């Protein structure tokens, strides 16, 4: 038995969760939070879709290769850490400035790139585990 209220509100909650997790990801390298909490929030939004619509519908919508998401995130985090280790010292963040045509100057921190990797690792691991628990075995 599925709840009509849950099926109606779950897509709205998913979008709100994704927007808020993006906010936490963007400002997390300056404040507590960052990639880990944003990844958990994204996974919660996707899991709510699983609860609202059932396993078959969720596997149609979110049948991604979550282990590849995990591996890409781990690669990004590892390469960012190694770059920091070999370029300007261990556990020190660098700032790079990029000029975009319509936006202007943007500062990119290596801590943000590391947080993106952590975000992908958390989402990949949690969704891989949840997908394996909920998938129907023959």
Res 120: pLDDT: 96
Q: What is the mean pLDDT of residues 98-122?
A: 87
**Rg of the chain over all Cα atoms, to the nearest angstrom:** 18
For 34, 83, 93, 109, the CA distances from 89, given in Å and listed in that order, are 22, 9, 9, 15
Q: To 10 degrees, the CA torsion angle through 122, 126, 127, 131?
A: 160
- What is the spatial distance between Cα 106 and Cα 96, in angstroms, rounded to a whole number? 8
Per residue in 44-71, pLDDT tens? 999 888 888 887 887 788 888 899 999 9
Q: Are 44 and 90 in contact (CB under 8 A)?
A: no
Per residue in 72-85, pLDDT tens? 999 998 998 888 78
Q: What pTM value is reported for the model?
A: 0.85
| pLDDT score of 42 more than 60 | yes
Res 12: pLDDT: 92
């Amino acid at each position: 038995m599925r709840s009509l209220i849950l099926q109606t509100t779950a897509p709205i909650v998913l979008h709100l969760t994704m927007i808020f997790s993006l906010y936490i990801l963007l400002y997390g390298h300056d404040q507590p939070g960052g990639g880990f909490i944003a990844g958990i929030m994204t996974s919660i939004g996707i899991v709510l879709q699983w609860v609202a619509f059932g396993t078959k519908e969720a596997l149609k919508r979110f049948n991604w290769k979550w282990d590849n998401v995990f591996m890409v995130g781990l690669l990004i985090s590892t390469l960012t850490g190694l770059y920091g280790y070999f370029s300007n010292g261990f556990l020190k963040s660098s700032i790079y400035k990029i000029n975009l045509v319509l936006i202007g100057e943007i500062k990119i921190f290596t801590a943000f790139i590391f947080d993106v990797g952590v975000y992908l690792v958390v989402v990949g691991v949690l969704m891989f585990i949840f997908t394996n628990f909920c998938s129907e075995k023959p």
